[in-house]
């Protein structure tokens, strides 16, 4: 039992140190010495930008018809929730919050304004 635990710990340690597991967004946040809400916001936006817009993701997955519509709708809903979270982290309220969420949601869904 102890040997299995040590083997698992060694594999995990080697895997965690591997560059293949590195997240470029968190590496960038580290390089910029970001912390707290600024770090969370940066990493979230970076990861979203890296994945592309909802429409782009649907195209990459070769979705069409109802499956595409469903995927894009869910993706945009998730993005809006993420934008709400970012607005809360930035302590925005009123018109500033509404404007931020609207722009953030448009950016994440791939809509051009």
CA-to-CA distance for 13 and 100, rounded, in angstroms? 40
CA-to-CA distance for 76 and 87, rounded, in angstroms? 16
Residue 27 CB coordination number (10 Å): 13
| DSSP per-residue codes, 31-78 | HTT--HHHHHHHHHHHHHHHH--HHHHHHHTT--HHHHHHHHHHHHHH
pTM over 0.85: no
Residue by residue, pLDDT tens for the chain (113 residues) are 544 444 444 444 444 443 444 567 788 888 899 999 989 988 888 777 766 678 888 888 999 999 999 998 888 777 767 788 888 888 888 999 888 888 887 776 665 43
């Amino acid at each position: 039992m102890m040997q299995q635990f040590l083997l698992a710990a060694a594999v995990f340690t080697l895997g965690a140190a591997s560059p293949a597991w590195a997240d470029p967004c968190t590496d960038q946040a580290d390089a910029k010495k970001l912390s707290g809400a600024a770090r969370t916001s940066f990493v979230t936006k970076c990861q979203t930008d890296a994945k592309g817009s909802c429409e782009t993701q649907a195209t990459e997955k070769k979705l069409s018809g109802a499956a595409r519509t469903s995927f894009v709708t869910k993706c945009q809903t998730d993005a809006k929730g993420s934008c709400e979270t970012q607005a809360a982290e930035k302590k925005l309220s009123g018109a500033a919050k509404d404007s931020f969420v609207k722009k953030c949601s448009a950016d994440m869904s791939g809509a051009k304004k």
